[in-house]
Structure 1
Amino acid sequence: MGGLTNLDAVFVAMAFCVPGYVFLVVRGHIVPGHRTRGTESIIRLLSVSTLNFMLWAWAVYLVLGTDDLPLWTRPAIWTFAILVSPVVMGVLSGLATKWGVLSKIYRQMSFHPVHVIPTSWDYAFSKPEPKFLIVKLADGSIFGGLWGTKSFASDEPAERDIYIEKIYKIDKDTGVWTGTDRSLLLKGEHIRSIEFIPFPEGE
């Protein structure tokens, strides 16, 4: 009867920390604005790790209790349980959230769930398609911008800023846009409003 070796004890400890972290990192790349910190992040990490371990405990204890399995079996099971499984769970959870699967189920049950994306800033800049922007600053000045694949918006709540890859001057009298060869990094505190203009069809 196989026992719990010192190395297995290390893996058990990792099983209650690493999977939750991997899950949250993978999911955070799909769903914007869901990075948590402090006590809440620790609780989420441990909760996901515990759920993951519950799913694969049968396989872990199967290899621990069997002596005649190939040598590669233990590291394979631990690798799957600690790394592969939370990656798959993170991707599935992120896609389900992005596609609104749970929201649709809740609405079918006559519930009204809170939106999964916490702020309108995160929601507005989570859309992948390129668009034009009209940015109005706190001092009243206005300019245009191209929001494309090279642009970026921070999802850090304490440090809202955006990087606009191409800036346009807007003539106050004619409204004509003139392109420049400049890009801009702009702090959220300097922005009064942003208007989003979709690309014309065919562009």
Structure 2
Amino acid sequence: MDDLLKEFDTYRAIALFALLALPGFISIQVWRLLVPATERNLKDIIPEALAFGLLNAAVGAPPVLLFAATPGQAYGFAFLVLVVLPTLWPFAVRSALERLERANLILNRARTGWDAAFLRREPYFVIVHLKDGRRIGGYYGTDSYAGLHPCSGHLYLEQTWTLDASGRFVTPVADSRGLVLRPDDYHFVELFSPGQEAKNV
């Protein structure tokens, strides 16, 4: 009998852990889709998942207990609390952080200067200074891509441009489908606001 009770307690502890951790893991995975983050081991994520799960339970449990009058309603509320609500938390947190950042109440969340520039999602004309001394011109627009932390420095320019001797943009390269660059390919990148050249893109 004692063994049976111990086994029951074990299963109950596992079920309780799952109920708290599952919503947290969902929130963390959605957050990682919204905000660049480094890879972490499972053991490092568990405390954060439990914290999200406790917050989720504190908000979601009262409606389940107060308004679920039938098993069907209880199942529906449980699905909302365990799956839907954890999915929405990261969007609410990100929106709140963006508002606080715009109000200068918290520090800028960009990890690097690179991230700060490209998180603006603005178009740029770009001059890339390669390590072999060459310069390459390009256009960074809506179809381009800049890797963010922890992959800052990876860059895809949707169109390459020819440059004159003084570094001015001349014309787009014919049939250009863009340029892919790794951090080890160049020393630094110059960014310019689109001007007259943008009319040719």
For each residue in 1:19-77, what CA deviation from the matched residue of structure 2 results, as whole angstroms up to 9, or x when unmatched?
Answer: 2233233334444x3355135433322221221112223234457xx7xx233212211
Contact kept in structure 2, 1:11 and 1:78, CA below 8 Å? no
Aligned-residue identity in percent? 24
Q: What is the rounded CA distance, in whole Å, between the counterparts of 1:76 and 1:11 in structure 2?
A: 19
Number of matched pairs: 185
1:16 is paired with a residue of what secondary structure?
A: helix
Find the partner of 1:27 among 27, 31, 37: 31
User: In the alignment, residue 198 of structure 1 is paired with which amino acid?
Assistant: S
Contact kept in structure 1, 2:118 and 2:146, CA below 8 Å? yes
Higher RCO (C-alpha under 8 Å, 6+ residues apart):
1
Larger deviation: 33-42 or 182-191? Answer: 33-42
Larger deviation: 167-176 or 81-90? Answer: 167-176
Find the partner of 2:170 among 156, 169, 177: 177
1:37 aligns with 2:40: yes
Q: What is the rounded CA distance, in whole Å, between the counterparts of 1:144 and 1:76 in structure 2?
A: 55
Q: What is the rounded CA distance, in whole Å, between the counterparts of 1:76 and 1:52 in structure 2?
A: 16
User: In the alignment, residue 90 of structure 1 is paired with which amino acid?
Assistant: P
Gaps of 5+ in 2: 1-11
Larger deviation: 171-180 or 81-90? Answer: 171-180
Find the partner of 1:127 among 104, 120, 124: 120
For each residue in 1:71-103, what CA deviation from the matched residue of structure 2 results, as whole angstroms up to 9, or x when unmatched?
Answer: 32122111111122122221111122233x167
Contact kept in structure 2, 1:30 and 1:95, CA below 8 Å? no
Contact kept in structure 2, 1:15 and 1:81, CA below 8 Å? no
For each residue in 1:122-152, what CA deviation from the matched residue of structure 2 results, as whole angstroms up to 9, or x when unmatched?
Answer: 2222122222111112222111111112111
Distance 1:121 1:138, change over 3 A: same
Instruction: Please identify which structure carries the higher helix content.
Output: 2
Match runs of 1:99-138 below 5 Å: 99=99, 101=100, 104=103, 106=105, 113-138=106-131
User: In the alignment, residue 133 of structure 1 is paired with which amino acid?
Assistant: V
Match runs of 1:1-203 below 5 Å: 12-31=16-35, 33-35=36-38, 37-38=40-41, 39-62=43-66, 69-99=69-99, 101=100, 104=103, 106=105, 113-155=106-148, 157=150, 160-173=153-166, 175-180=168-173, 181-200=176-195
User: In the alignment, residue 200 of structure 1 is paired with which amino acid?
Assistant: G
User: In the alignment, residue 104 of structure 1 is paired with which amino acid?
Assistant: A
Gaps of 5+ in 1: 1-7, 107-112
